[in-house]
Amino acid sequence: AQSVSQHNHHVILSEAASLELGCNYSYGGTVNLFWYVQYPGQHLQLLLKYFSGDPLVKGIKGFEAEFIKSKFSFNLRKPSLQWSDTAEYFCAVNALSGSARQLTFGSGTQLTVLP
């Protein structure tokens, strides 16, 4: 079965700092990759997604993620954080073959941005 690992459970950074959140998955076939975000008191919402093509994908609010197939990684980045980026971030993977075709989530990373 596929699994998703998010290595950082809680990250605390200051405004204007750069961000990189790690995400690794374990599945050898073709995958679709997602980052979801949950702002305090709000629903989970899609931040960005990768299906095919350019491995560097851009999402909302200045976020981007790079798919590195050889490393089974899909790390999330933002060059300059804002206080409003405080939220919980979830990486998710959906395999396209075999029995594991469901969306599998990582355990999430709580990001706190200090003003």
Rounded to the nearest whole angstrom, what is the least distance from the CB of residue 62 to other proteins in the complex? 19
Enumerate binding residues for other proteins (CB under 8 A).
4, 9, 32, 34, 36, 42-46, 49, 51, 90, 94-96, 101-108
What is the closest distance, in whole angstroms, from the C-beta atom of residue 73 to other proteins in the complex?
17
Q: How far apart are CA 23 and CA 28, in angstroms?
A: 15
Q: How far is the CB of 55 from other proteins (least distance, A)?
A: 16
Nearer to other proteins, 68 or 103 (CB): 103
Report the residue number, 102 or 112, with the smaller CB distance to other proteins: 102
- Which of 24/104 has CB closer to other proteins? 104
| Largest distance between two CA atoms of the chain | 46
Token digits of residue 90 = 């979830």
CA separation, residue 72 to residues 27, 44, 104 (Å): 8, 24, 14
Please report how close the Cβ of residue 13 comes to other proteins at its closest, in angstroms.
21
Q: In 3D, which of 96, 97, 78 has the Cα closest to residue 87? A: 78
Length of the chain: 115
